[in-house]
Amino acid sequence: MKTILTVDDSPSMRQMLAYVLTSNGYTVIEAEDGEQALELAKTNLADLVLTDQNMPRLDGIGLIKALRSLPGYKTVPIMMLTTESSQALKQQGREAGATGWMVKPFDPEKLLEMLKRVLAQPSAQ
Amino acid sequence: MSDRGNPSYATLLALHELVTRVSSQVDSAHREIGETRAILKDAIDRLMPAFTAMRAQDTVPVMNPSRREAFSALQFQDISDQLLAHAQLRLALLTQEVDVMLVALEPGPAQVNGTVRLAELVEQAIDNLADLDVSLQKPVGKAHLGTGDMELF
């Protein structure tokens, strides 16, 4: 069973993600901002990280940079799930080490399909 | 203006009155946006228990077209709250600038060489507003709830 770390400061977004992911066999760890996600990531090795961008304390791109510096998270897929859609920010995300970018609102089936694809990639094994 | 150097007392009074009214309107707009955010939060706080109850009733995962639409629509609060928070930040800065203007326009002994002082303040306010535009990236790139794009790098 794959474990996904979801990071979003919106409780409703975290609930909806948990609903979709647990209903489809994933184990979910939830964090409400980048700082909390970073702490959880140090003690729980997730198979994939799904993070928002705009959050208090530590934003999504900051989290990606911090995660990529951890030994266990060099190749773990990290997907952005955000309302942000500017090319400039996407480029920053890519340079920080994001695996992909999804713009909110998410469609549950498209999200699951994307996660399945990403988790099937050799680097995610 | 009474001459090319200083605004007249009457001009200062009129400007002070105008800025006072602008300040009041900006404060009201800030407060009303805050109330709107609270209403949206209350709405989502009431909707989510219903959502959780629906989840508890599922013996197997169910994802039909109605539920997919519900999933998209339920993300309204997260998306709209970010836009409203940005609008409040802009209004908060406007309030700061207006407050500075109010002090500067207060008619009295402190008003020395008023035209020069006002010109400096206006220039500073324009710079501050421009800085805000740079620091606040647009949080939401769309004005509807259609599902967003996905891209793998």
Judged against a pLDDT cut of 90, whether residue A63 lies above it is answered with yes
Residue where the block lists tokens 């911090």? A66
Domain A3-120 = CATH 1.10.230.10: no
User: What does the block give as tokens for B34?
Assistant: 């805050």
Nearest CA-CA distance, residue A90 and chain B, Å: 9
pLDDT at B2: 47
Q: Sheet of A3-7: strands edge to edge?
A: A27-31, A3-7, A48-51, A78-82, A100-103, B150-152
**Is A10 within 8 Å of B77 when comparing Cβ atoms?**
yes
Nearest CA-CA distance, residue A10 and chain B, Å: 6
Domain ranges of chain A: 3-120
* A116 close to B (CB below 8 A): no
pLDDT at B78: 83
Phi, psi of B130 (to 5 degrees): -65, -40
pLDDT at B6: 63
Residue where the block lists tokens 């996904």? A4
Judged against a pLDDT cut of 90, whether residue A80 lies above it is answered with yes
**Is B142 within 8 Å of A23 when comparing Cβ atoms?**
no
Sign for the CA dihedral angle at A109, A107, A97, A43 comes to: negative
Q: Looking at beta carbons, which residues of chain A come within 8 Å of B74?
A: 12, 16
Q: Looking at beta carbons, which residues of chain A come within 8 Å of B148?
A: 83, 85, 102-106
**Is B77 within 8 Å of A90 when comparing Cβ atoms?**
no
**Is B75 within 8 Å of A104 when comparing Cβ atoms?**
yes
CA atoms within 13 A on the CB side of B124: 13
Residue B19 or B145, more confident:
B19
This prediction's pTM: 0.75
Nearest CA-CA distance, residue A66 and chain B, Å: 19
C-alpha dihedral, B141 to B143 to B145 to B148, nearest 10°: -20
Read off the pLDDT band of B143 (50, 70, 90).
low
Which chain B residue's Cα is nearest to A97? B153
Tell me: cis bond preceding A105? Omega within 30 of 0 counts.
Answer: yes
pLDDT in tens, A83-117: 887 888 899 999 999 999 998 888 888 899 999 99
Nearest CA-CA distance, residue A41 and chain B, Å: 22
pLDDT at B109: 56
Please state, in angstroms and as integers, the Cα–Cα distance from residue B31 to each residue in A9, A70, B25, B91, B132, following that order: 23, 43, 10, 10, 20
User: What does the block give as tokens for B107?
Assistant: 């008619």
pLDDT in tens, B16-67: 888 889 899 999 999 999 999 999 888 888 888 887 787 777 776 667 787 7
Read off the pLDDT band of B135 (50, 70, 90).
low
pLDDT at A124: 64
pLDDT at A2: 94
pLDDT in tens, A1-57: 899 999 999 888 998 899 889 888 899 999 999 999 999 999 999 999 999 998 889
pLDDT at B111: 55
Rounded to an integer, the average pLDDT of A63-91 is 91
**Is B150 within 8 Å of A100 when comparing Cβ atoms?**
yes
Contact predicate A99/A79, CB 8 Å? yes
